[in-house]
Structure 1
Amino acid sequence: MQGTAYGFEIGDSKSETYTKAKWVLLKLSDSGITPPYIEVKVNNENEELLATKSEYDLLVQTLLHDVGYDRFIEKDVWRFYIDGSYFNSISLKFCQNKLCEIHRHRKYFEMP
């Protein structure tokens, strides 16, 4: 399978994708300078730090530094939220440790 979308390339390794992700995701934000968000499940160990009860999900900004890579390589689906919105996200799926699917979800709506 081949293809590219939003600066990502099908067939790239997790390492290559992680390296690209910071800059690619910055470009997708409305401001061009807002780092992406990831969803974090609050647990007993971090509830005090995050000031939220356990079992809640929070969107947290990430800078995708090298220290986080080990957590990402454990997962086969990476989901990033652009500008901290559930209505603007990108999901990256890996098959046998190679990027095999890129999915963008966007919804525009106006509030009165």
Structure 2
Amino acid sequence: MRQIPVDTSTAMVMVAQPPSPKIANRQTGEVATDRETGATLMTIDVMFVMDGNAEILNLTVPETGISGELAMGTPVALTGVVARPWENEFNGQKRHGISFRAVAVTSLTAAKAA
């Protein structure tokens, strides 16, 4: 699967919705895990502002990559962000989009306090 690196160095990023477990199967409530490490996967919505444009991105992050208090509005740094195009078919309808994954999301508030 193709992965496209995302440069976040010049963007302002803050938490829009705090992290929550990523659900792999909505019927059973099974929580998604990383295939390589077995770590629980979390989703977090961030507001990504660059060049005067703001977008809400839904990121998937391993639970081990989340550090600091990530309440709504907290400025954060993103590490190792990649975009992955996806496509599937369900009940004869094709859907497609882009998913985003990060290695880590770190609170900048905690870094300033230290």
Q: TM-score, normalised by structure 1?
A: 0.28
Q: TM-score, normalised by structure 2?
A: 0.27
Higher helix share: 1
Higher strand share: 2
